[in-house]
Structure 1
Amino acid sequence: MTRIGIILGSTRPGRNGEAVARWVHDIASRRDDAEYELVDIADHALPHLDEAVPPMAGVYTQPHTLAWAERIARLDGFVFVTPEYNHSIPGALKNAIDFLYAEWGDKAAGFVGYGPLGATRAVEHLRLILAELQVATVRAQAALTFATDFADHSTFRPAEASRASVEAVLDRTVAWSRALEPLRRKASA
């Protein structure tokens, strides 16, 4: 069965992302096309990148890096849930991505962005970062805005149309994850 990680990319106290990621996971859990798991980077307590050797070499020495690598390696694809900070992704998400290299490769990724403008600029930056790691990003994305999906800009109340956007992201992410499976199999051989 294809395994998709729904990665919560914010670690900020009081973050809106937890409600968004749980909602996305709830939608995904009702489907039977893949196994879905919520991956909260806050649960991994990754410090600033502290490996002496660049991740591309695959030589991890820190226990937190080894645990993070194991978690990401077992997944076939990802749905990143991210806010937009200063026209980009949160530093904690970038740091979590930078810890690893091969564990990301030959997998697919979709995006659920949230914020004043749906985090569309953050998602564009995330697409560039993931391209370097050989992650295939799907075109479909959900852009949740404060005007349509949050009450008082803080309480998550998704619009019905947003559910359809998330379903489209899941559809494409699962399909691409499956299509890339021969590459992952070849890389692990």
Structure 2
Amino acid sequence: MAYGALRVAVIVGSTRVGRVCDTVGQWFAERAGRRDDLAVEVLDLAGYAFPGRYPDEATPDMRRFAAAIGGAQAFVVVTPEYNRSFPASLKQAIDFAYDEWRAKPVGFVAYGSGSAGLHAVEQLRTVFCALHAVTMPGWVGFDLLGDEIDECGRPRDTDHRLRAIGALLDQLSWWGRALRAARDAHPYVS
């Protein structure tokens, strides 16, 4: 069976005022979009009016987000590290979808002060494992305390970082194609 480009959703995981997550997300999406094997879409959580509490029935924005997750074949979550974890806005959004994450690959781009977002990534790996998603071993991280971002809040394209992006996207593409074919051949069972 012939397949087209892998549909990848880049999820901007912070909704804070003054965030750099949107800048980082666009920066990453631009680099990922250069690949012919990927069709990249940015899902910015700030563009959704999610409720403060989990309602009895899904709101239109909750359904719209879950549909976007359902239509994607792979994900890259862009997250800051807040207090050695990831933002509550991201956890809330992740929980609004469930089956839509299953048997799909997830990669990470993270940033933080000192840890380059490592703690957020490790906690997200646990969450996505519980959702039966496959997390990529490679990830992209950078430290806000160093000179790794420019004056506009965009990560610098160092050789090391470009190699990390390439490795992450290679892994995501391989797993995305393999899992897409597997889902088409046999429905996933949990």
Does the residue aligned with 1:42 lie in a helix, a strand or coil? helix
Instruction: State TM-score, norm by structure 2.
Output: 0.88
Does the residue aligned with 1:6 lie in a helix, a strand or coil? strand
Report deviation, 1:67: 1.0
1:139 aligns with 2:137: yes
Contact 1:148 1:159 in 2 (8 A): no
- Corresponding residue for 1:90? 87
- Corresponding residue for 1:187? 187
1:39 aligns with 2:43: yes
Report deviation, 1:139: 0.2
Q: Distance in 1 between matches of 2:164 and 2:105?
A: 17
Q: Distance in 1 between matches of 2:52 and 2:68?
A: 18
Are residues 168 and 148 of structure 1, via their aligned partners in 2, closer, same or farther at CA, if it must alter by over 3 Å? farther
Instruction: State TM-score, norm by structure 1.
Output: 0.88
1:50 aligns with 2:50: no
- Residue ranges of structure 1 left out of the alignment (5+ in a row): 53-59
Contact 1:118 1:145 in 2 (8 A): yes
Deviations 1:80-118 (A, max 9, x none): 110001110000000000111101111001111112121
Letter of the 1:31 partner, please give it.
Answer: R
Which of the pair is proportionally richer in helix? 1
- Residue ranges of structure 2 left out of the alignment (5+ in a row): none
- Corresponding residue for 2:170? 171
Q: Distance in 2 between matches of 1:138 and 1:61?
A: 30
Report the identity percentage.
Answer: 35
Letter of the 1:30 partner, please give it.
Answer: R
1:107 aligns with 2:104: yes
Contact 2:150 2:156 in 1 (8 A): no
Structure 1 segments of 4+ aligned residues over 6 angstroms from their partners: none
Work out which of the residue numbers 59, 63, 73 in structure 2 matches 1:62. 59
- Corresponding residue for 1:9? 13
Q: Distance in 1 between matches of 2:166 and 2:109?
A: 11
- The root-mean-square deviation of aligned C-alpha atoms, in Å, is 1.9
How many pairs are equivalent? 181
Are residues 136 and 122 of structure 1, via their aligned partners in 2, closer, same or farther at CA, if it must alter by over 3 Å? same
- Corresponding residue for 2:123? 125
Does the residue aligned with 2:116 lie in a helix, a strand or coil? coil
Are residues 26 and 50 of structure 1, via their aligned partners in 2, closer, same or farther at CA, if it must alter by over 3 Å? same
Q: Distance in 2 between matches of 1:157 and 1:86?
A: 21
Moved more, 63-72 or 107-116: 63-72
Letter of the 2:133 partner, please give it.
Answer: V
Does the residue aligned with 1:180 lie in a helix, a strand or coil? helix
Does the residue aligned with 1:118 lie in a helix, a strand or coil? coil
Are residues 148 and 167 of structure 1, via their aligned partners in 2, closer, same or farther at CA, if it must alter by over 3 Å? farther
Q: Distance in 1 between matches of 2:93 and 2:74?
A: 16
- Corresponding residue for 1:28? 32
